[in-house]
A and B are shown apart, each in its own frame.
Chain A
Amino acid sequence: MRILVIEDEPDLLAALAQLLREAGYAVDVSSDGRNGLFKLKGDEYDAVVLDLMLPGMDGLALLRELRRTKTVPVLILTARDGLSDRVRGLDSGADDYLTKPFDRAELLARLRALIRRSAGKPEPTIRVGNVTIDTTGRTVIQAGQTVILTPREYALVEFLALHKGELVTRTMIYDHLFDEEDDSLSNLVDVHVSNVRKKLGKDFITTRRGQGYQIDA
């Protein structure tokens, strides 16, 4: 899953990026509103962590502009916690609101919830055949046995599972697994798919020739 963090306080931005990456997300960063909006319009993200007090363009203005075209879930992270601030934030199109200072565990849980909801799979646990994917603990269990996956492999499995029954193109996978800094080759996706098949069985992921991959519902 790929997340965009828009925050102007450099130390905090660094902490957020690191904590999200260590939690298995691909993370892009931006430290001002206009730049953030530009990235949002150009790339696909699974969630956005947005600070309100931004230079260049106010966070709420960015949100309103974003909502004209995109439905990506947005979590507002800000020092302002007044009731009217919260209401305004949510009414401008945010999906969730967290005040600073925040707890790492809460931020991660809320992001997971947003991503689940936005994929239309509200249940934290996804079942595919005899495979159970626990998105909270980031574990995969097949036939009662825990399967060890690398972070990238898990990310791939989770992404396909959240889009269970839908066709996912290679580009989509690439965009959601790697952040903008990553200049890996796109056929790395095929490598990861092949590795997952080795661990979870050939039929776990279906190939649609010339189009992409899919996990059958």
Chain B
Amino acid sequence: MLKSIRWTLQMWHAAILALALAGFGIALYFGISRARYHEVDAELEGAAQVLAAKVHVPPAWRHEPERPWPPRGPHRPPGEFLERDAALPANLLQGFGETDEDAPYFVIWREGGEILKASRPDLAVPDPGSPSGSAGHPPAPQIRQRADLREAIVYLPIGARVVVGASVRRERAELHRLIWLLVGVGTAVLGVGLAGGWMLSLRAIRPIRSIGEAAAAISGSNLSRRIDLAETHSELGTLAQVLNATFDRLEDAFEQQVRFTADASHELRTPLAVIHSHVELALSRGRSAEEYRQTLETCLKASRRMRGLIDSLLLLAKADAGKLDLERQPFDLTAVVDECVSLVGPLAAEKHVTLDTEFQEVEITGDPQRVGQVVMNLLTNAIRYNIDGGRVHVKAYAEGADAVVSVSDSGVGIAAQDQPHIFERFYRVDKARSRAAGGSGLGLAICKSIVEAHGGTLTLDSQVGEGATFVARFPCVPVGVSDQHVDESLPAPAPLA
């Protein structure tokens, strides 16, 4: 559960929301609380100042504001008295209510500590004393809180002090209620936020789950299913499209593989049918020694054909798996091409095809036998598919960082619609020719696999009526040539069927 995106999202969402709400709530509370108390304090202080003004200060004191504070010594005032109407201002009484419990009160002390006047005689208000203020001046008015009572203290230059206090019980209760309100609302908002967030993440995750389900079903046995794009939107829609495209490619590759296997087994069936029919026929009645001999020869021929086919198939299978055992040695490419040209000399002569060559010294790293196989195949094709008295032009040269071998023939050429398929396995342009010549449609596919295993490319350039040119390009600096050991046990590859 901890790894789930939904839960992680939810956790973070909850944490941030809670933090925000808490911060907001606290700030709000303190703001309100301060404002409220300030109001109260201002009123109390105001009242204290009013009363302080009513304390009679001897005239001498009024004119000597630089008297030292606290007042001591021989300059102590003889005594102060209050004006008769010293009482708390009416508006203060209104503000704080007039019930005995909560009614505001005041106490005035003389410098010596005796109570000059108190609004109620039973008040137990502690005397703030006459603390030292800044040099020469009485301390500034103060506020103090005793339990539910808040008091403002004003100091007079003559050493007297006035305390006006009131119960802030109601204020405190209000603020308490505010706390609960804030907590309640905050929790509700948090709850709604979390619920909303949960539903949102559910809606977002659902398409992901449906993609996952579809993909799982697809990779099972049914390769033709696709993710239903209508269910998904925006970023997930793109993901679905990409996945569908991947599955398309997978299905194609799979179909190709199935087709290849089917084609291979069909190709093998024909020589097998030859052997089967000939042997059955030979055994169906008494035959002469000559007839038996001919039957055996035919069987041998078919058996060779099957062997060649199986070798080709095995090579292609290895190439597909990336396990083509190639040697990796530097060799003279031109020498190999030259040798192949000599080997096809008789075939060319038989078909009245002339071979001409254009060679440059060029060396590559790879497997000379396999490369020779490729060149032989290209040359024999060029001769077989040529016109009587035609030409085959063979070139080997270096071009940039590549070594190039090109084989051009003056044959009938290859039609545009066949060209993209010509390197496909079992593809035959004209079924007649290749069967009669003993081919199975794998020659060019094998050439391509070998060339590509050397890190090279094999391309075709042709137009109908103007012959065909096959160009094999090998990197002089080897790229991706298999590093595997040379398999000594394998026989030298037979010429391609």
Residues of A bordering B, CB below 8 Å:
8-9, 11-12, 14-16, 18-19, 22, 32, 53-56, 79-80, 82, 99-104
Contact = CB atoms under 8 A, between A and B. Distances in A.
B384 interface: no
Contacts of B280: 19, 103-104
Contacts of A54: 431
Nearest to B277: A15
Interface in B264-302: 266-267, 269-270, 272-278, 280-281, 284-285, 298, 301-302
Given A11-B302, A79-B266, 16 more contacts: A11-B298, A12-B274, A16-B277, A19-B280, A32-B432, A54-B431, A55-B430, A55-B433, A55-B435, A82-B262, A100-B272, A100-B273, A101-B273, A102-B277, A104-B280, A104-B281
Given A11-B278, A11-B302, A19-B277, A80 B272 contact: no
A120 to B, nearest CB: 30
Contacts of B436: 8, 55
A101 B435 contact: no
A8 B272 contact: no
A12 B269 contact: no
Contacts of B302: 11
A101 B273 CA distance: 4
Interface string B310-324: 000000000000000
A170 to B, nearest CB: 32
B303 to A, nearest CB: 12
B285 A22 contact: yes
B263 to A, nearest CB: 9
Contacts of B298: 11, 14-15
Closest 10 CB pairs of A and B: A55-B432, A100-B273, A79-B269, A15-B277, A101-B276, A101-B273, A79-B266, A55-B431, A11-B274, A104-B280
Interface of B: 262, 266-267, 269-270, 272-278, 280-281, 284-285, 298, 301-302, 430-433, 435-436
A8 B269 contact: no
A164 B93 CA distance: 141
Contacts of B269: 79, 99-101
Nearest to B281: A19
Contacts of A15: 274, 277-278, 281, 298
A104 B273 CA distance: 11
Contacts of A14: 298
Contacts of A56: 431-432
Contacts of A53: 431
A9 B435 contact: yes
Q: Is the interface of B mostly helix, strand, loop or mixed?
A: helix
B272 A101 contact: yes
15 contacts: A11-B278, A11-B298, A15-B281, A16-B277, A18-B281, A19-B281, A22-B284, A22-B285, A55-B432, A55-B436, A79-B269, A80-B266, A100-B272, A103-B276, A103-B280
Most buried by A among B270, B278, B301, B435: B270
Contacts of A102: 273, 276-277
Contacts of B272: 100-101
Nearest to A54: B431
Nearest to B265: A79
A22 B431 CA distance: 31
Contacts of A32: 432
B274 A9 contact: yes
Contacts of A19: 277, 280-281, 284
Contacts of A55: 430-433, 435-436
A100 B273 CA distance: 5
Contacts of A101: 269, 272-273, 275-277
Contacts of A100: 269-270, 272-273
B390 to A, nearest CB: 21
Nearest to B435: A8
Contacts of B274: 9, 11-12, 15
Contacts of A99: 269
Nearest to A8: B435
A54 B285 CA distance: 31
Contacts of B285: 22
A19 B273 CA distance: 13
Most buried by B among A15, A16, A54, A99: A15
A193 B278 CA distance: 34
B270 A79 contact: yes
A12 B432 CA distance: 15
B277 A12 contact: yes
A151 to B, nearest CB: 13
A101 B262 CA distance: 15
Nearest to B433: A55
Contact of A11 (B262, B266, B301, B432): B301
Contact of B270 (A12, A18, A82, A103): A12
A104 B281 CA distance: 8
A9 B277 CA distance: 12
Most buried by A among B270, B273, B284, B431: B273
Contacts of A12: 270, 273-274, 277
A9 B275 CA distance: 12
Contacts of A18: 281
A32 B432 CA distance: 8
A38 to B, nearest CB: 16
